[in-house]
DNA sequence: GAACTTATGTCGGTGC
DNA sequence: GCACCGACATAAGTTC
């Protein structure tokens, strides 16, 4: 990733030292904020794409809620998933559920 | 509860046809799931980038928490934001939180 | 987004600017806020009690994390839990997990 | 898969003793879980009460979202709050969010 | 830095 | 038909 540190852009205007210093600060903050905003836009776009895929699934008969559960389960690593299953069994045994 | 996930049809097909249909279904589901997973990876990557920018801001002295507030405020349209701030001030005045 | 904050119309029960000037609403708002704060204190106290029970469990050898999972599972109604199990099986079958 | 949940001891006991020990464990676990569940019910009840107060405020014209901000602000100590607000104003000025 | 809690935004359901 | 409402899912903040 570029721009780590102190690249505050070029200062072609003639201003007082105070303004210059303040200008640096302002620009630096502004640039950071704007980078974040751009990234959040991208993120939102992808979120929308994801939503579309769920809708597409729904259109061919898959329940989006259950698709989400599947995605969640697949996110777990196999060991964790197996552990969860084991706990489920343990729980049933210990507390008398079917 | 009926219709868990996807009902690919009744059970009147012969076994081989059933398996074939199921295979189709599985692939379709798998493809949807995998598309979602790819998109979520991208989304996560961008989320990490955003986090990095906050850390970068922090490294040069900006409080990430307040940066987040700024981002939130900039997301609102100016009129709504001003009205919200005015009301907040009102409430604060009412409660001695000057 | 209209009507951020308070309703400036002439509804008899809404908060008018006149009321604000007279300090009537100040009291009303203050009382609401204080009721919330009292309730949140109580809530926090109970939260602390819960935490203590987990610690007590931990002290006799139960993993708090797993206790939490058990509590979560017991919160589900049996049908939902069974559905979850069914989905788990479906998922395994459809996407080839153990 | 070691030590999921609770290790009730080594396996040197006879079967009947083992079962007895397991019975103890189960009861102990059950009691802890049930205490937690009772506490969580209380906690939920209070949470509902809090929600009701916000609704009551809304019914007389107060925006619940802003009420929440007030509650949060009042939770902070005054000096911290003022410092936070000062910094926020600074950042806002820097970005033209007057 | 991981987990839990709280807050916010979104979506499907429901009443007028 | 729209608007309100509760449920779900995500994001943020807090705590250990």
Write out pLDDT tens, residues A35-93: 999 999 999 999 999 999 999 998 888 888 888 888 888 887 777 777 777 777 776 77
Lowest mean pLDDT among A75-89, B30-44, B81-95, D33-47: A75-89
Residue D21 pLDDT exceeds 50 = yes
pLDDT value of position A93: 77
Residue C9 pLDDT exceeds 90 = no
Query: Measured between alpha carbons, how far is A20 from C3 in angstroms, rounded to an integer?
Result: 42
Assess A59–D contact: CB distance below 8 Å, yes or no: no
| Predicted confidence band of residue B39 (pLDDT cuts 50, 70, 90) | very high
What's the CA B44/C1' F11 distance, rounded, in angstroms? 13
Percent of chain D at pLDDT > 70 equals 74
Residues 29-68 of A with CB under 7 A from strand F: 43, 47, 65, 68
Task: Tell me the nt nearest to C54, Cα to C1'.
Answer: E4
Lowest mean pLDDT among A3-17, A50-64, D41-55: A3-17
pLDDT value of position C1: 44
| Predicted confidence band of residue D57 (pLDDT cuts 50, 70, 90) | very high
What's the CA C79/C1' E13 distance, rounded, in angstroms? 21
Helix, strand, coil tally for chain B in percent (to 5): 75, 0, 25
Q: Give which of C7, D81, D97 is closest to B76, Cα–Cα.
A: D97
With contact defined as 3+ CB pairs under 8 Å, the chains touching B are A, C, D
Long-range CB contacts (< 8 A, 24+ apart) of B70-74? B70/A33, B70/D88, B70/D91, B70/D92, B70/D95, B70/D97, B71/A33, B71/A36, B71/A37, B71/A40, B73/D92, B73/D97, B74/A33, B74/A37, B74/D95, B74/D97
Residue nearest to nucleotide F10 (CA to C1'): A47
Task: Tell me the nt nearest to C65, Cα to C1'.
Answer: E3
Residue C34 pLDDT exceeds 80 = yes
Tell me whether residues C97 and A87 touch, CB distance under 8 A. Answer: no
C58 touches strand E (CB under 7 A): no
Q: Please tell me which residue, C29 or B13, carries the higher pLDDT value.
A: C29
3-class DSSP assignment, residue D25: helix
B75 touches strand F (CB under 7 A): no
C50 touches strand E (CB under 7 A): yes
D65 touches strand E (CB under 7 A): yes
Task: Tell me the nt nearest to C68, Cα to C1'.
Answer: E4
Alpha-helical runs (H) found in D1-77: 15-59, 64-75
Contact D26, D8 (CB under 8 A): no
Residue C10 pLDDT exceeds 60 = no
pLDDT value of position C58: 92
Q: Give which of B32, B1, B65, D76 is closest to A56, Cα–Cα.
A: B32
Query: Measured between alpha carbons, how far is D81 from D70 in angstroms, rounded to an integer?
Result: 11
Q: Tens digit of pLDDT for each residue in C41-75?
A: 999 999 999 999 999 999 998 889 888 888 887 88
Using the Cα atoms of residue B1, residue B2, residue B6 and residue B12 in order, give the sign of their dihedral: positive
pLDDT value of position A7: 40
| Predicted confidence band of residue C30 (pLDDT cuts 50, 70, 90) | very high
Name the residue of chain D whose CA is nearest to C59's CA: D6
> For D1, which of A29, A33, A83 is closest by C-beta distance?
A83
3-class DSSP assignment, residue A91: helix
Mean pLDDT rounded to a whole number for chain B: 81
Tell me whether residues D46 and C53 touch, CB distance under 8 A. Answer: no
Residue nearest to nucleotide E8 (CA to C1'): D65
Long-range CB contacts (< 8 A, 24+ apart) of B76-81? B80/C1, B80/C4, B81/D97
pLDDT value of position C76: 76
Lowest mean pLDDT among A2-6, A50-54, D93-97: A2-6
Contact D62, C32 (CB under 8 A): yes
Q: What does C40-79 look like in DSSP terms, one character per residue?
A: HHHHHHHHHHHHHHHHHHHHTT--HHHHHHHHHHHHS-HH
Query: Measured between alpha carbons, how far is C28 from D74 in angstroms, rounded to an integer?
Result: 17
| Predicted confidence band of residue B1 (pLDDT cuts 50, 70, 90) | very low
pLDDT value of position D24: 57
**Which whole number is the average pLDDT over B45-61?**
95
How many CB atoms lie under 10 A from the CB of residue C94? Answer: 19
Q: What does A18-80 look like in DSSP terms, one character per residue?
A: HHHHHHHHHHHHHHHHHHHHHHHHHHHHHHHHHHHHHHHHHHTT--HHHHHHHHHHHHS-HHH
Threshold 0.95, pTM exceeds = no
């Amino acid at each position: 990733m570029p721009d780590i540190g102190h690249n505050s852009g070029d200062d072609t205007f003639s201003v007082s030292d105070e303004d210059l210093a303040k200008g640096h600060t302002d620009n630096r903050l502004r640039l950071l904020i704007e980078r974040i905003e751009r990234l959040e836009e991208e993120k939102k776009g992808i979120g929308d794409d994801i939503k579309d895929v769920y809708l597409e699934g729904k259109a061919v008969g898959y329940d989006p809620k259950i698709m989400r559960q599947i995605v969640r389960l697949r996110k777990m690593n196999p060991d964790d998933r197996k552990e969860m299953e084991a706990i489920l069994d343990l729980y049933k045994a210990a507390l008398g559920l079917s």
